């Protein structure tokens, strides 16, 4: 079983609106509604790939009930702390003509100290049954920046590896806990390194610094350019297949899911990296975050290339 933490779960509403402009009236029949948040996107792709998945976090109000129902309908087991405030709503507006994306994400509910205190024992219980854990995305209000550090430490105590996909203070505070794998994008890695980074050399050097600090793999997303992977044994540039992009929303989450799926299957590292990038690419070719499937990923694998960085 794979356990995924999605602290700031949401209802995601995605709309396709040609020539979208602020201040205009639109009516569309092209929209998609689903439980969302980065961790849920990861969990959805993993379930599409055939894995047993449990998603944990906070959920409240009518939106929280929708999230739980949608996860169960997708055959994903929810293990959430019930909270008093309403879970958030996130809206994505995709303009297929001008190839632009506009996002409006609510900050999320305020978590009380009592609600926060329920998460750690719940996490300890579910992570103890897992092969691998994923901690992904932002946190709602009232949650300390040290939360991910503490939950990583609990997973390590249970001897469960952790993949971390976070940003800003959440990422910086979690690094001393030594997550097994981190998956920043270029901007997030630059913030963590506190400097601008060239591609590929600067990214490789920053990744190597983190590996020397105890992280096994740093996989940095470069968006449509692919990703750079750094481990103790070397570094690689992973280039994606060429596709017609429908929506990039959730592609980083799909990349994490592809990597985790291949890791659970104990594939060699080069194959794990290609699975990660192929999954992210497959997600960008469909409408709706986390809606790609195994067949689409496998088709793109043969066009995904891996080049060692000397």
Over the stretch 67-117, which tens digit does the pLDDT of each residue have?
A: 999 999 999 999 999 999 999 999 999 888 888 889 899 989 999 999 999
pLDDT over 90 (residue 167): yes
pLDDT of residue 65: 98
- Does some domain include residue 103? yes
Q: Which domain holds residue 222?
A: 2-19+31-308
What's the domain count of the chain? 1
Q: What does pTM read for this prediction?
A: 0.95
CATH number at residue 217: 3.40.1190.20
Mean pLDDT of the chain: 95
Q: How confident is the model at residue 299 (pLDDT cuts 50, 70, 90)?
A: very high
Q: Is residue 169 part of a domain?
A: yes
Question: Does residue 64 form part of some domain?
Answer: yes
Mean pLDDT of 44-60: 98
Check residue 2 and give its pLDDT.
98
Residue 25 inside a domain? The answer is no
**Is 138 part of any domain?**
yes
Q: How far is the CA of 277 from the CAs of 28, 203, 227, 251, 305, in angstroms?
A: 32, 17, 7, 9, 9
Confidence check: pLDDT of 310 > 80: no
Q: Evaluate whether residue 131 is within a structural domain.
A: yes
Whether 260 maps to a domain, the answer reads: yes
Rounded mean pLDDT of 121-130? 98
pLDDT digits (tens, 9 = 90+) for 221-246: 999 999 999 999 999 999 999 999 88
Give the long-range contacts of residues 233-237, CB within 8 A, separation 24 or more: 234/308, 234/309, 235/200, 235/204, 235/207, 235/208, 235/308, 235/309, 236/270, 236/273, 236/306, 236/307, 236/308, 236/309, 237/200, 237/306, 237/307, 237/309
Asked, for residue 203, whether it belongs to a domain, the answer is yes
Residue 22 has pLDDT above 90, yes or no: no
**Measuring CA to CA, which residue among 20, 12, 71, 13 is closest to residue 46?**
71
Q: Which of 137, 126, 8 is nearest to 76 (CA)?
A: 126
> Across residues 16-28, what is the average pLDDT?
88
């Amino acid at each position: 079983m794979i356990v995924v933490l999605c602290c700031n779960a949401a209802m995601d509403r995605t709309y396709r609106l040609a020539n979208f402009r602020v201040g205009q009236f639109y009516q569309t029949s092209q929209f998609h509604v689903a439980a969302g948040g980065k961790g849920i996107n990861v969990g959805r792709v993993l379930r599409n790939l055939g894995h047993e998945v449990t998603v944990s976090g906070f959920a409240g109000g009518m939106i929280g009930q929708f999230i739980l129902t949608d996860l169960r309908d997708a055959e994903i087991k929810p293990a959430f702390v019930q909270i008093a405030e309403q879970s958030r709503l996130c809206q994505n507006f995709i303009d297929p003509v001008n190839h632009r994306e506009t996002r409006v994400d609510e900050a999320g509910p305020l978590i009380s100290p009592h609600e926060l205190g329920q998460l750690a024992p719940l996490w300890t219980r579910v992570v103890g049954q897992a092969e691998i854990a994923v901690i992904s995305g932002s946190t709602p209000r009232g949650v300390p920046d040290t939360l991910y550090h503490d939950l990583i430490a609990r997973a390590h105590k249970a001897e469960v590896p952790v993949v971390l996909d976070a940003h800003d203070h959440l990422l910086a505070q979690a690094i001393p806990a030594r997550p097994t794998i981190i998956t920043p994008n270029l901007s997030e890695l630059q913030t963590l390194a506190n400097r601008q980074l060239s591609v590929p050399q600067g990214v490789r050097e920053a990744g190597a610094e983190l590996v020397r600090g105890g992280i096994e793999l740093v996989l940095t997303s470069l968006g449509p350019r692919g990703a750079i992977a750094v481990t103790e044994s070397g570094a690689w540039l992973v280039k994606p297949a060429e596709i017609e992009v429908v929506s990039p929303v959730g592609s980083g989450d799909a990349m994490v899911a592809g990597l985790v799926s291949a890791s659970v299957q104990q594939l060699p590292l080069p194959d794990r990296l290609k699975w990660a990038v192929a999954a992210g690419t497959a997600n960008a070719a469909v409408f709706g975050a986390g809606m790609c499937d195994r067949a689409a990923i496998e088709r793109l694998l043969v066009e995904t290339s891996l080049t060692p960085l000397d």
